[in-house]
Amino acid sequence: MRTSLFRSLLPFAIAAALTGCNVNAATRTPIPPAASDAALAKTSGKQTAVFAGGCFWGTQAVFERVKGVLKTTTGYSGGSASTATYDQVTTETTGHAESVQVVYDPSKITYGELLRIFFSVAHDPTELNRQGPDVGTSYRSAIFYANDEQKRLATAYIQQLDQAHIFPRPIVTQVVPLKGFYRAEDYHQDYALHNPNNPYIFVCDRPKIEALKQQFPDLFVDYKGSK
Protein backbone atom coordinates (compact mmCIF):
# COMPACT_ATOMS: atom_id res chain seq x y z
CA MET A 1 0.00 0.00 0.00
CA ARG A 2 1.20 3.49 -0.83
CA THR A 3 2.07 5.82 2.04
CA SER A 4 2.40 9.60 1.91
CA LEU A 5 5.36 9.45 4.28
CA PHE A 6 7.25 7.14 1.95
CA ARG A 7 6.64 9.34 -1.05
CA SER A 8 7.44 12.68 0.50
CA LEU A 9 10.27 12.11 2.95
CA LEU A 10 12.65 9.41 1.74
CA PRO A 11 15.83 10.66 0.05
CA PHE A 12 16.05 9.96 -3.66
CA ALA A 13 18.74 7.28 -3.33
CA ILE A 14 16.72 5.28 -0.80
CA ALA A 15 13.54 5.72 -2.80
CA ALA A 16 15.26 4.49 -5.96
CA ALA A 17 16.46 1.37 -4.18
CA LEU A 18 13.15 0.53 -2.54
CA THR A 19 10.35 1.51 -4.89
CA GLY A 20 10.87 -1.11 -7.55
CA CYS A 21 9.89 1.43 -10.19
CA ASN A 22 11.20 0.95 -13.69
CA VAL A 23 13.81 3.71 -13.87
CA ASN A 24 14.82 2.44 -17.33
CA ALA A 25 11.41 3.06 -18.86
CA ALA A 26 12.79 5.74 -21.17
CA THR A 27 15.11 3.25 -22.87
CA ARG A 28 12.33 0.91 -23.99
CA THR A 29 11.13 0.84 -27.56
CA PRO A 30 7.49 1.40 -28.47
CA ILE A 31 5.28 -1.64 -28.85
CA PRO A 32 3.51 -2.27 -32.18
CA PRO A 33 0.42 -0.21 -33.04
CA ALA A 34 -2.99 -1.79 -32.78
CA ALA A 35 -3.81 -3.87 -35.84
CA SER A 36 -7.48 -3.15 -35.24
CA ASP A 37 -8.33 0.48 -34.66
CA ALA A 38 -10.95 3.11 -35.41
CA ALA A 39 -10.17 5.62 -38.15
CA LEU A 40 -9.60 9.24 -37.27
CA ALA A 41 -12.88 11.13 -37.20
CA LYS A 42 -13.49 13.62 -39.98
CA THR A 43 -14.65 16.32 -37.57
CA SER A 44 -13.52 17.41 -34.12
CA GLY A 45 -15.37 16.11 -31.13
CA LYS A 46 -15.00 14.64 -27.67
CA GLN A 47 -14.79 11.03 -26.59
CA THR A 48 -13.83 9.57 -23.22
CA ALA A 49 -11.60 6.69 -22.20
CA VAL A 50 -10.84 5.46 -18.68
CA PHE A 51 -7.63 3.64 -17.79
CA ALA A 52 -6.23 2.23 -14.55
CA GLY A 53 -2.51 1.55 -14.38
CA GLY A 54 -1.28 1.79 -10.82
CA CYS A 55 -0.93 5.14 -9.07
CA PHE A 56 -3.05 7.64 -10.98
CA TRP A 57 -0.43 10.37 -10.62
CA GLY A 58 1.80 8.76 -13.22
CA THR A 59 -0.99 7.66 -15.53
CA GLN A 60 -2.30 11.20 -15.66
CA ALA A 61 1.20 12.61 -16.14
CA VAL A 62 1.47 10.56 -19.33
CA PHE A 63 -1.94 11.13 -20.89
CA GLU A 64 -2.08 14.85 -20.23
CA ARG A 65 0.98 15.19 -22.46
CA VAL A 66 -0.54 13.40 -25.46
CA LYS A 67 -1.51 15.37 -28.55
CA GLY A 68 -5.25 15.19 -29.08
CA VAL A 69 -6.05 14.73 -25.39
CA LEU A 70 -8.24 17.59 -24.23
CA LYS A 71 -8.51 16.89 -20.52
CA THR A 72 -7.48 14.33 -17.91
CA THR A 73 -8.93 13.72 -14.47
CA THR A 74 -7.76 11.39 -11.73
CA GLY A 75 -10.42 9.41 -9.96
CA TYR A 76 -11.78 6.05 -8.92
CA SER A 77 -13.58 3.37 -10.95
CA GLY A 78 -14.86 -0.08 -10.15
CA GLY A 79 -16.65 0.61 -6.88
CA SER A 80 -19.57 2.67 -5.61
CA ALA A 81 -19.89 6.42 -5.25
CA SER A 82 -20.26 6.11 -1.48
CA THR A 83 -16.75 4.64 -1.15
CA ALA A 84 -14.95 6.82 -3.69
CA THR A 85 -12.62 8.66 -1.35
CA TYR A 86 -8.87 8.24 -1.10
CA ASP A 87 -8.95 7.15 2.53
CA GLN A 88 -11.50 4.46 1.75
CA VAL A 89 -9.96 3.28 -1.52
CA THR A 90 -6.54 2.74 0.08
CA THR A 91 -8.08 0.21 2.48
CA GLU A 92 -8.28 -2.10 -0.57
CA THR A 93 -11.84 -3.08 0.34
CA THR A 94 -13.96 -0.86 -1.94
CA GLY A 95 -13.41 -2.46 -5.35
CA HIS A 96 -12.13 0.78 -6.84
CA ALA A 97 -9.02 1.18 -8.97
CA GLU A 98 -7.11 4.44 -9.16
CA SER A 99 -8.05 5.58 -12.66
CA VAL A 100 -7.67 8.40 -15.13
CA GLN A 101 -10.47 9.73 -17.29
CA VAL A 102 -9.11 10.84 -20.66
CA VAL A 103 -11.19 13.16 -22.81
CA TYR A 104 -9.80 13.25 -26.34
CA ASP A 105 -10.55 14.54 -29.82
CA PRO A 106 -11.10 11.50 -32.10
CA SER A 107 -10.09 13.59 -35.12
CA LYS A 108 -6.62 14.02 -33.58
CA ILE A 109 -5.95 10.66 -31.94
CA THR A 110 -7.59 7.24 -32.02
CA TYR A 111 -8.59 4.97 -29.19
CA GLY A 112 -6.05 2.46 -30.47
CA GLU A 113 -3.26 5.01 -30.18
CA LEU A 114 -4.30 5.72 -26.59
CA LEU A 115 -4.16 1.98 -25.91
CA ARG A 116 -0.66 1.81 -27.38
CA ILE A 117 0.54 4.57 -25.06
CA PHE A 118 -1.19 2.92 -22.10
CA PHE A 119 0.63 -0.37 -22.69
CA SER A 120 3.93 1.18 -23.81
CA VAL A 121 4.82 3.80 -21.24
CA ALA A 122 2.02 4.38 -18.72
CA HIS A 123 2.48 1.17 -16.72
CA ASP A 124 3.51 -2.49 -16.71
CA PRO A 125 0.45 -4.50 -17.85
CA THR A 126 1.93 -7.79 -16.64
CA GLU A 127 1.93 -6.91 -12.94
CA LEU A 128 -1.10 -8.30 -11.13
CA ASN A 129 -2.73 -6.00 -8.58
CA ARG A 130 0.34 -3.82 -8.18
CA GLN A 131 2.67 -1.37 -9.88
CA GLY A 132 6.17 -1.11 -8.47
CA PRO A 133 5.90 -0.39 -4.75
CA ASP A 134 2.11 0.05 -4.81
CA VAL A 135 0.35 -3.18 -3.92
CA GLY A 136 -3.35 -3.95 -3.90
CA THR A 137 -6.35 -4.19 -6.19
CA SER A 138 -6.69 -0.41 -6.29
CA TYR A 139 -3.45 -0.41 -8.30
CA ARG A 140 -4.59 -3.05 -10.79
CA SER A 141 -4.29 -2.71 -14.53
CA ALA A 142 -7.70 -2.16 -16.09
CA ILE A 143 -9.46 -0.68 -19.08
CA PHE A 144 -12.96 0.52 -18.24
CA TYR A 145 -14.77 0.52 -21.56
CA ALA A 146 -17.66 2.87 -22.26
CA ASN A 147 -19.08 0.99 -25.26
CA ASP A 148 -18.77 -2.19 -27.29
CA GLU A 149 -16.29 -0.60 -29.69
CA GLN A 150 -13.84 0.19 -26.90
CA LYS A 151 -14.26 -3.33 -25.54
CA ARG A 152 -13.59 -4.86 -28.95
CA LEU A 153 -10.50 -2.75 -29.62
CA ALA A 154 -9.00 -3.26 -26.17
CA THR A 155 -9.58 -7.02 -26.20
CA ALA A 156 -8.17 -7.37 -29.71
CA TYR A 157 -5.06 -5.38 -28.85
CA ILE A 158 -4.32 -7.44 -25.76
CA GLN A 159 -4.66 -10.62 -27.83
CA GLN A 160 -2.35 -9.13 -30.47
CA LEU A 161 0.34 -8.24 -27.94
CA ASP A 162 0.12 -11.56 -26.12
CA GLN A 163 0.27 -13.60 -29.31
CA ALA A 164 3.34 -11.66 -30.43
CA HIS A 165 4.98 -12.17 -27.00
CA ILE A 166 5.69 -8.44 -26.74
CA PHE A 167 6.03 -8.73 -22.95
CA PRO A 168 7.97 -11.41 -21.04
CA ARG A 169 4.80 -12.39 -19.17
CA PRO A 170 1.11 -12.47 -20.12
CA ILE A 171 -0.90 -9.25 -19.91
CA VAL A 172 -3.18 -9.21 -16.85
CA THR A 173 -5.10 -6.04 -17.74
CA GLN A 174 -8.81 -6.32 -17.04
CA VAL A 175 -11.27 -5.16 -19.71
CA VAL A 176 -14.45 -4.34 -17.83
CA PRO A 177 -17.49 -2.08 -18.30
CA LEU A 178 -17.35 1.44 -16.92
CA LYS A 179 -20.07 1.67 -14.28
CA GLY A 180 -18.92 4.95 -12.79
CA PHE A 181 -16.00 7.33 -12.58
CA TYR A 182 -15.63 9.41 -9.44
CA ARG A 183 -13.30 12.40 -9.40
CA ALA A 184 -10.44 12.21 -6.91
CA GLU A 185 -9.65 14.90 -4.38
CA ASP A 186 -8.25 18.18 -5.70
CA TYR A 187 -4.73 17.55 -4.39
CA HIS A 188 -4.49 14.44 -6.59
CA GLN A 189 -5.13 16.41 -9.78
CA ASP A 190 -1.95 17.21 -11.75
CA TYR A 191 0.05 15.92 -8.79
CA ALA A 192 3.15 15.01 -10.80
CA LEU A 193 3.14 18.40 -12.49
CA HIS A 194 3.01 20.27 -9.20
CA ASN A 195 5.44 18.01 -7.35
CA PRO A 196 8.14 17.12 -9.90
CA ASN A 197 10.88 16.64 -7.30
CA ASN A 198 8.88 14.45 -4.95
CA PRO A 199 11.06 11.30 -4.66
CA TYR A 200 8.25 9.03 -5.84
CA ILE A 201 7.44 11.25 -8.84
CA PHE A 202 11.13 11.65 -9.65
CA VAL A 203 11.77 7.89 -9.68
CA CYS A 204 8.48 6.40 -10.87
CA ASP A 205 6.74 8.98 -13.03
CA ARG A 206 9.22 11.33 -14.64
CA PRO A 207 10.79 8.41 -16.57
CA LYS A 208 7.34 7.69 -18.02
CA ILE A 209 7.11 11.24 -19.33
CA GLU A 210 10.56 10.95 -20.87
CA ALA A 211 9.62 7.60 -22.40
CA LEU A 212 6.53 9.17 -23.96
CA LYS A 213 8.63 11.98 -25.39
CA GLN A 214 11.24 9.61 -26.82
CA GLN A 215 8.97 6.87 -28.12
CA PHE A 216 6.12 9.04 -29.41
CA PRO A 217 7.66 12.39 -30.39
CA ASP A 218 4.86 13.15 -32.85
CA LEU A 219 2.27 12.74 -30.11
CA PHE A 220 4.12 14.46 -27.27
CA VAL A 221 3.04 17.93 -26.16
CA ASP A 222 4.27 20.01 -23.29
CA TYR A 223 1.80 20.47 -20.45
CA LYS A 224 1.57 23.53 -18.22
CA GLY A 225 -1.50 22.65 -16.21
CA SER A 226 -5.26 22.98 -16.48
CA LYS A 227 -6.66 26.31 -17.57
Q: What is the 3-state secondary structure (H, E, C) of the chain?
A: CCCHHHHHHCCHHHHHHHHCCCCCHHHCCCCCCCCCCCCCCCCCCCEEEEEEECCHHHHHHHHCCECCEEEEEEEEECCCHHHCCHHHHCCCCCCCEEEEEEEECCCCCCHHHHHHHHHHHHCCCCCCCEECCEECHHHCEEEEECCHHHHHHHHHHHHHHHHCCCCCCCCCCEEEECCCEEECCHHHCCHHHHCCCCHHHHHHHHHHHHHHHHHCCCCECCCCCCC
Please say if 55 is a catalytic residue: yes
Given the residues 55, 97, 161, 209, the one annotated as active site: 55
Active site residues: 55
